[in-house]
Structure formats: structure tokens, C-alpha cells
Homo-oligomer: A and B are copies of this chain.
Amino acid sequence: MRATLIHAPRDIRLEDLPDPVLRLPGDAVVRVVASCVCGSDLWPYRGVTETAEPHRIGHEFVGVVEEVGAEVTTLRSGDFVIAPFALSDNTCVHCKNGVHTSCAHGAWWGGEDEQGLPIDGGQGEFVRVPMADGTLVATPTRPDDSLIPSLLTLSDVMGTGHHAALAAGAGPGRSVVVVGDGAVGLCGVLAARRLGAERVIAMSRHKDRQEVARAFGATDIVEQRGAEGVAAVHELLGGIGADSVLECVGTGESMQQAIDAARPGGRVGYVGVPAGGAQLPIEQLFSSNISVGGGVAPVRAYLDGLLPDVLSGAIDPGRVFDLELPLSDVAEAYRAMDERRSIKTLLRP
């Protein structure tokens, strides 16, 4: 099969590799129907984080189960499945607490399982899935092809935006600001509205992203950044900051902007991987009683709740995909996202 490796910054290669096979009784092998490039894939792509040696990449995919191991009980060959960006057993105390990303037996796509066996990345044609019962979620029936993009967002960005919205306490009667107009930020807008927020301010300088934000329910757009952006938020909200702020970038500037955009007593939900010197200024947070929560999103915990809304068409997070390419063009997919020509690029093997 063909699968994607990153060799070094800006060096993305699709390579021929052996087809994965079942290695453990809890494994499944999944044929990938769609995968995509994540904003966090751009950190190694841009050299912000190090790539010590070539490795498999990609952690968002949906597909069809080809084969399951002897101990797999919830899946069968032919099932259409969604793969969260983290593997989990769904049974340990942390999973029971809804924090699947801290699973006692957790692992990551492109990493290693507990036995030290390599785990495939998502940007390929097939994937061996350890802990398949815990990790994968099957749809009740084979979904229509038009739903594939939205289902794919449940691998990561929609669940992550939802996590930010929950962490920020978005809901009825609370004003919401979303910092970041990438796919996660846009899904954060959608999630905040879904949770009942009537007023959602999206901070975005890009017309195409503003359009998606509006479609997802943003009531206001603020184009400015930094102190100017914060001032614009205050003006919209009667002179104070927002009840809830979703930080969906992860840089030092965006985190500070998010905190500054919160009112005293407000809540910041952050899901952007801290990769650009992001800090939490304790004196400011303390004096203003601004709380911060969030982190690496346990999207597995949210799949059962979000899936019905995608299947019913109540939400259409797949709109974040504005470019679709064949897997053979995976390097171009990275370029398009790096150059912000695409919000999020879907790949079909």
C-alpha cells in the first residue's frame, strides 16, 4: 500500500509499504476512505517541532473495516468507522472520566503500541488499529458519500472545537469569542452555537474563513488582531470581554489575545497545541479570575454525542474542507494548507 511519511520539514513523501496485517487479537485493519491534513501536522512540516527521523504521519481518517482480530467484539468487516486522533481502550479510569487522551493504554497514530509495534499513520491506504474496540466508532449504517467530510471532522477538528467550547463554558446566555479561524476555530463556532450560545464572535481576517464562520453561526466577525482585536470585542460586548473564549491556535500571541478577550470571571477554553511560546500569565489570570481549561481533546468521548447530529444533517462541519485531493498529491495538500490556500484539505486514496 501507499502511505505518507514526513522526512524533514517540507519533505512529505508518499511511499510504497507492506500492507498492514492483524498483529494482535484486539487489532482491526481498516481501509481508509478519507483522511486529511491537520493544522498540527504543519508544526513538523514548518520545522517548529523537530523531525528526528522519517516517520508515518496523519491522525484523522475514516474508513471501512477489512478484518478484525479474535478479541474484537464491537466491529465487523464492512463497518464504516471513524478513528479519533488518539487510540484508547475506552475502559480505563481515565476513559471513564471522559479523558480518553490520557488513557492508561493510550497510543498515537504513527507511534508505537504497548507491545512496541509500530502504528500506522492516517494518511495512507490502510491502517492497523490496535485496541480497535476502544478506539473506533462505527456508524449504524454505511453513510452516504456526501457525509464523509463531516464524519471525518469527528476524527479531530469538530471534537476539538467542541472541547474548546465546553472548556470555555459556552452555552445559552453566554457571549463567545473564537480566536483562530482554522478548521478547529470554525468548528468551535459551530460547537458554541450547538451548545446554545446566541452571540458568537469569530476573529478572522480571511474572507473565505469568515464565510464558513457565518455559515456555522458566527454572529459577528472581528478582523483585527491583538490589542485592536480585543478592543473591537469589548466594543461589541458593551465594554467588557466575553464570558467564554475559545483559543484554537496555540501561539503566544493567540493565547494572550484570548485571555485579554475574556471578561473578569470569564473562561478560556484552549485546544491549540502550545507550540509558539504560549504561556499562562498567572498574575493576570489571578487578578481577573479568568479560568483556563482544555487541552488535547478527548474526541472519542464526544463521538457518541456528535455523530447523530452529523448523520441527521443538524450540523455540517465538513464545510471546513475546501480542497479535496487524491492521496498521491499529499505533498501538495501540505503546501496548500501551509500557504493558507486551503482551510483544510481532504485526501482520498
Contacts and interface: CB of A to CB of B under 8 A. Distances in A.
A288 interface: yes
A278 B288 contact: no
A102 interface: yes
A286 B296 contact: yes
- Number of this chain's copies in the assembly equals 2
A296 B296 CA distance: 28
A286 B294 contact: yes
B94 A265 contact: yes
Main secondary structure, interface of A, reads: mixed
Contacts of A290: 295
A282 interface: yes
A328 interface: no
Contacts of A294: 286, 289, 291
A238 interface: yes
Nearest to A167: B291
- 7 A-B pairs closest in CB distance: A291-B293, A102-B264, A289-B295, A99-B265, A280-B280, A286-B295, A99-B264
A310 interface: no
Interface stretch (A67-75, A201-209, A266-274): A266-274
A236 interface: no
A283 interface: yes
Interface in A96-115: 97-99, 101-102
A93 interface: yes
B293 A282 contact: no
Nearest to A98: B265
Given A264-B97, A280-B280, A296 B287 contact: yes
A85 to B, nearest CB: 14
A285 B295 contact: yes
Contacts of A274: 282-283, 286
A231 interface: no
Contacts of A295: 285-290
A288 B102 contact: yes
A240 interface: yes
A72 to B, nearest CB: 26
A179 to B, nearest CB: 15
Contact of A291 (B93, B263, B286, B291): B291
